[in-house]
Structure 1
Amino acid sequence: MSSSSLSRTPLPARAAAIAAAALLGGAVLTACGSEDGSGEGATATGPTVVASTSVYADIAEQVAGDNATVEAVISDPAADPHSYEASPADAAAVSGADLVVYNGAGYDSFVDRALENAADVPVVRAVDEYERVTGESIAEHSHGDEHGSDDHGADEHGHDDDHGAEGGHGAEDGHDGHGSDDDHAGHDHASDTNEHVWFSLPTAAAVAERVAEELAAIDEENAEEYRENADRFADSLAPLEAELDAIHDRGHFPYAQTERVGAHLFDAAHMVDLTPRGFLASIEDDTDPSAADLSAMLDLMGEREVAFLAFNTQTETTVTARVRDAAESADVAVVDLTETLPEGMDYTTWMTGIVNSLSSALDGATPVADGGH
Structure 2
Amino acid sequence: MSSSPFPRRPRLTRAAALTMAALVGGAVLTACGSEDGTDDGTAAGGLNLVASTTVYADIAEQVAGDNATVESVIYDPAADPHSYEASPADAAAVADADLVVYNGAGYDAFVDRALENAADVPVVRAVDEYARVTGETVAEHSHDDEHGAADDHDGDHDDHGGDDEHGAADDHGTEDDHEGHDHTSDTNEHVWFSLPTAAAVAERVAEELATIDEENAEEYRDNARRFAETLTPLEEQLDVIHDRGHFPYAQTERVGAHLFDAAHMVDRTPRGFLSSIEDDTDPSAADLSAMLDLIAEREVAFLAFNNQTETPVTARVRDAAESADVAVVDLTETLPEGVDYTTWMTGIVDSLSSALAGATPVADGGH
Cα distance between partner residues in 2 of 1:190 and 1:310:
15
Q: Aligned pair 1:318/2:275, yes or no?
A: no
1:88 corresponds to: 88
Cα distance between partner residues in 2 of 1:297 and 1:204:
31
Query: Which of 209, 212, 218 is matched with 1:215 structurally?
Result: 209
Aligned positions of 1:52-63 closer than 5 A: 52-63=52-63
Cα distance between partner residues in 2 of 1:321 and 1:188:
30
Which residues of structure 1 form unaligned runs of 5+? 1-24, 152-164
Secondary structure at the counterpart of residue 292 of structure 2: helix
Which letter maps to 1:131? Answer: A
2:111 corresponds to: 111
Cα distance between partner residues in 2 of 1:102 and 1:342:
18
Q: 2:26, 2:87 within 8 Å by CA — same for their partners in 1?
A: no
Q: Aligned pair 1:292/2:286, yes or no?
A: yes
User: What percent identity do the matched residue pairs reach?
Assistant: 84
Q: 1:178, 1:184 within 8 Å by CA — same for their partners in 2?
A: no
Query: Which of 226, 234, 245 is matched with 2:228 structurally?
Result: 234
Aligned positions of 1:115-134 closer than 5 A: 115-134=115-134
Q: 1:255, 1:310 within 8 Å by CA — same for their partners in 2?
A: yes
TM score, norm. by length of structure 1: 0.83
- Taking a change above 3 Å as real, the CA distance of residues 265 and 365 of structure 1, as seen in their structure-2 partners, is same
Deviation track 1:179-231 (CA, whole Å, cap 9, x = no partner) reads 78x9999x974254310000000000000000000011111111110000000
Deviation track 1:42-90 (CA, whole Å, cap 9, x = no partner) reads 6113111000000000000000000011000001111111111110000
Aligned positions of 1:100-179 closer than 5 A: 100-143=100-143, 144=146, 146-147=156-157, 149=159, 170=167, 175-176=169-170, 178=172
Quote how far apart the aligned CAs of 1:28 are. 1.9
Cα distance between partner residues in 1 of 2:133 and 2:257:
17
Cα distance between partner residues in 2 of 1:305 and 1:195:
27
Cα distance between partner residues in 1 of 2:26 and 2:85:
16
Quote how far apart the aligned CAs of 1:341 are. 0.3
Q: Cα RMSD (Å) of the superposition?
A: 2.6
Cα distance between partner residues in 1 of 2:295 and 2:87:
41
Q: 1:177, 1:277 within 8 Å by CA — same for their partners in 2?
A: no
Quote how far apart the aligned CAs of 1:330 are. 0.2
Cα distance between partner residues in 2 of 1:228 and 1:290:
51
- Hey, which of these two has a bigger chunk of helix by percent? 2
Which letter maps to 2:95? Answer: S
Cα distance between partner residues in 2 of 1:64 and 1:179:
42
Which letter maps to 2:55? Answer: V
TM score, norm. by length of structure 2: 0.84
1:301 corresponds to: 295
Quote how far apart the aligned CAs of 1:237 are. 0.3
Q: 1:42, 1:67 within 8 Å by CA — same for their partners in 2?
A: no
- Taking a change above 3 Å as real, the CA distance of residues 245 and 179 of structure 1, as seen in their structure-2 partners, is closer
Which residues of structure 2 form unaligned runs of 5+? 1-24, 147-153
